[in-house]
């Protein structure tokens, strides 16, 4: 089936400013891909390139195997939420969705189904968008993205303005979409939000991809921290098993393997363990904190 969204060596320059610097990543069917980065890291620019709204300076982005702009009736295949606040303030929610249905050639009965799906009441649907709260606008934006029952969703900061119940609702909605074989790419500047929903994570900072992998891989951290009654002896036992070991400043060892292997080595060496735990389990959090700290200092551009 291949990658539903593929970004291949995309660079985007605005004059002297490089918004995206040789960015490559993919989003696959049946999975939620979280696009994580501080504000101004290039997330929105990358998503606009995917959606054919911003031309790449070099490189290319494809959806369903071709550039978005060349898809026949792209709204049928790809649901976009790129700026929930950009909806026409004078129209009602129902009018916006009805117009979307007409433009994509979707049966207008989908409008009511979709309103129900995103939890907007008929009373709310008949109000003008200028009177919507941010959360209601966000639900309408998600409804618009889902209207034509697409295979791919591209959502920029979809949890923005939603209350905790709304965020939980959105997570289960997107999880269900992926479980039915859909492809979801969603961005956020909040690590906690992404790690709860994403199967795969792509981390961007300063216009470059700084890490990517499955959520489990990126959150797993590295190695095992261990303290024992005889660390020198345990270190030799681990070395015999070809496990790299470094001494920890505060006492104990960091072994480049899983806790079970360390426990086996200790048993074999006849050493009693005083402490045994997975190493730096918050590797992603640390990295993300460094990213946000540097971009916060530089007052980065979007």
CATH architecture for segment(s) 5-219: 3-Layer(aba) Sandwich (3.40)
pLDDT band at residue 48, thresholds of 50, 70 and 90? Answer: very high
- Specify the pLDDT at position 107: 94
- Extents of the domains making up the chain: 5-219, 222-278
Nearest by Cα to 144 from 95, 94, 90, 100: 100
Report CA torsion sign: 57, 62, 67, 69.
negative
Reduced to 3 states, what is the DSSP secondary structure of residue 1?
A: coil
pLDDT in tens, 217-260: 787 666 788 899 999 999 999 999 988 888 876 778 888 888 88
pLDDT in tens, 176-212: 999 999 999 999 998 888 988 999 999 999 999 988 9
- Specify the pLDDT at position 300: 46
Element (H, E) at 291: helix 283-298
pLDDT at 280 over 90: no
Identical fold, 5-219 and 222-278 = no
Nearest by Cα to 33 from 168, 212, 233: 212
pLDDT band at residue 76, thresholds of 50, 70 and 90? Answer: very high
Give the mean pLDDT of 157-181: 93
- At the topology level of CATH, where does 222-278 sit? Alpha-Beta Plaits (3.30.70)
Please state, rounded to an integer, the average pLDDT across all residues of the chain.
Answer: 89
CA distance 236 to 258: 17
pLDDT in tens, 84-118: 667 788 999 999 999 999 999 999 999 999 999 99
């Amino acid at each position: 089936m291949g990658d539903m969204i593929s970004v291949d060596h995309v660079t985007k320059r605005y004059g002297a400013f490089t918004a995206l610097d040789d960015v490559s990543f993919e989003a696959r069917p049946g999975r939620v891909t979280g696009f994580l980065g501080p504000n101004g890291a290039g997330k929105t620019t990358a998503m606009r390139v995917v959606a054919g709204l911003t031309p790449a300076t070099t490189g290319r982005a494809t959806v369903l195997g071709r550039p978005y702009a060349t898809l026949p009736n792209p709204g049928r295949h790809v649901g976009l939420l790129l700026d929930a606040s950009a909806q026409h303030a004078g129209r009602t929610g129902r009018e916006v969705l009805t117009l979307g249905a007409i433009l994509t050639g979707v049966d207008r009965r989908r409008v009511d189904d979709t309103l129900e799906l995103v939890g907007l009441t008929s009373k709310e649907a008949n109000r003008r968008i200028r009177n919507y709260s941010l959360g209601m606008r966000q639900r309408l934006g998600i409804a618009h993205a889902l209207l034509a029952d697409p295979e791919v969703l591209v959502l920029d900061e979809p949890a923005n303005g939603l209350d905790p119940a709304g965020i939980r609702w959105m997570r289960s909605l997107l999880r269900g979409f992926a479980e039915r074989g859909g492809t979801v790419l969603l961005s956020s500047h909040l690590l906690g939000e992404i790690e709860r929903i994403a199967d795969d994570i792509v981390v961007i900072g300063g216009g470059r991809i700084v890490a990517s992998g499955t959520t489990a891989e990126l959150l797993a951290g590295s190695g095992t921290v261990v303290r024992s009654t005889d660390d020198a002896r345990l270190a030799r036992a681990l070395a015999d098993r070809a496990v790299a070991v470094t001494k920890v400043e505060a006492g104990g060892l960091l072994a480049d393997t899983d806790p079970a292997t360390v426990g086996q080595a200790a048993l074999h060496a006849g050493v009693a363990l005083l402490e045994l735990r997975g190493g730096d389990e918050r590797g992603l959090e640390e990295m993300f904190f460094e990213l946000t700290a540097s971009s916060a200092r530089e007052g980065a551009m979007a």
